[in-house]
Amino acid sequence: MKAILFPGQGAQFRGMGKDLFSHYRALTEQASDILGYSIEKLCVDDAEGKLRMTQYTQPALYVVNAMGFYRRRDEGLDPPAYLAGHSLGEYNALLAAEAFDFETGLRLVKRRGELMGAARNGGMAAVIGIDELRLAELLRDNRLDAIDMANFNTLSQIVIAGPQQEIQRAEQILTAHKIRCAVLNVSGAFHSRCMKDAQLAFGDFVSGHAFGSLRIPVIANVSARPYEDGAVADTLSRQIASSVRWCDSIRYLMGAGCKEFVEIGGTVLTRMVDEIRRTATPLKVHEEQAAAAAVTPAAAAPAAPAAPAKLTPHTLGSALFRQRYGIRHSYVSGAMYRGIAAPALVVRMGKAGMLGYFGTGGLSLAEIEKDIHPSAEVCCDPLDDHGFFRMFFPHGLKLPGIGIRIRCEDVGKPRHRQSAHFCIVDALEPHRE
């Protein structure tokens, strides 16, 4: 299953689209008429240095993305199962899904770029090597309450947005904590509460347009879920002042069965997707689909009240949690510092059908390896019908990006009359950009 992706602002460069304009001359002329300037000269030459300005960047990317998609389509690219775009790129995804035509999309993007380009005194910064919870904690502890998380690009790459002075202060604080923070060359705090005025103005503008039914599902930035019928105008309006949930969007596509991701006109999103696929788990979308299908239609006769379900240790807690982690009971224990939550606890929890964490924070890799091996020897009581016992050992070093790779191997038939498996755990070095 395949998904096609479209990049957004930040992917522009002088010379982009050079090999496309001559092949799509009618679209080039139409775009120039709508915009009031030569789109080809802007993208190819950029003699006046306007390509980096939001009101010019967004229409330019929309046009080049559209032509790039048309060329791939004309060359025989098979229709995808899903479409998605990062921020501005979502307009190209909707164009490819036939929610609107090329002209309508360009007029929307032109107005969007004007409104967002008019925003002043805002800033953005990319924070790398830290997860959402830790970043939120640092912002809260340092009273950086005016800053929002604008883009969740990967599990360890988040873009923050807010007033310029607060962004500069955040950079100093994060750098002092040895966290990479790069201030971006933008004039506005996009995808944050600072864009509320632009959102309201764009909402008035977009409400005057009609949209068709999507021929292909498009994943929305604001929800990381497919667009709902009849919600294009509202979703595009909300997107301006809402976080771009790109990481969860890709996780949704992974959970939907997408194995192939094709980026139009760049490699920025491809690198993000590669990182997400290495470090994040798919979102299990079939539970949501089943729940939606089970909703009683409004026109149906109301059902008789069901008798309360009997509570047992097996039914307490989240069924989705049990299904995702392959456990029998919705209980978690462990994760205490320096091995206080020891391997023996993890094994006992696992054999009882519950989730346990080995607390490796503060331990050396040698200590972790020593503690893991004894536990592997006793993990031969299969937890499920597939015949293996799942164990995860996150390492608690202060360096970001430390991970654990786990693989299960058949070790024959010791003691039990069925095949047993054990986990081999390899510590991964921190990912460095």
The C-alpha atoms of residue 25 and residue 85 are separated, in whole angstroms, by: 25
- H or E stretch including 158? strand 157-163
The C-alpha atoms of residue 79 and residue 56 are separated, in whole angstroms, by: 30
Asked whether the predicted pLDDT for residue 176 surpasses 70, the reply is yes
Q: What percent of the chain has pLDDT over 70?
A: 75
CB atoms within 10 A of CB 419: 15
Model confidence over 190-248: pLDDT tens digits? 999 999 999 999 999 999 899 999 999 999 999 999 999 999 999 999 999 999 999 99
Instruction: List CB contacts of 212: < 8 A, sequence separation 6 or more.
Output: 98, 99, 100
Going edge to edge, which strands form the sheet with 218-219?
Answer: 218-219, 82-85, 2-6, 260-263
What are the CB-based long-range contacts (under 8 Å, 24+) for 415-420? 415/380, 416/380, 416/381, 416/382, 418/382, 418/387, 419/387, 420/379, 420/380, 420/381, 420/382, 420/387, 420/388
The C-alpha atoms of residue 305 and residue 119 are separated, in whole angstroms, by: 53
The superfamily in CATH containing domain 2-118+191-284 is Malonyl-Coenzyme A Acyl Carrier Protein, domain 2 (3.40.366.10)
Structure tokens at 189: 């705090």
Q: Which of 176-180, 252-256, 339-343, 388-392 is predicted least confidently?
A: 388-392
Active site residues: 87, 191
Give the closest residue to 24 by CA, choosing from 78, 74, 97. Answer: 74
The C-alpha atoms of residue 68 and residue 86 are separated, in whole angstroms, by: 16
Residue with tokens 């970001």: 400
Model confidence over 125-173: pLDDT tens digits? 999 999 999 999 999 999 999 999 999 999 999 999 999 999 999 999 9
The C-alpha atoms of residue 356 and residue 96 are separated, in whole angstroms, by: 45
Fold (CATH) for 122-183: Alpha-Beta Plaits (3.30.70)
* Domain ranges across the chain: 2-118+191-284, 122-183, 319-428
pLDDT, greater one: 424 or 369:
369
Q: What is the mean pLDDT of the chain?
A: 81
- H or E stretch including 252? helix 246-255
Q: Which of 54-63, 79-88, 165-174, 370-379 is predicted least confidently?
A: 370-379
pTM for the whole structure: 0.69
The C-alpha atoms of residue 279 and residue 404 are separated, in whole angstroms, by: 10
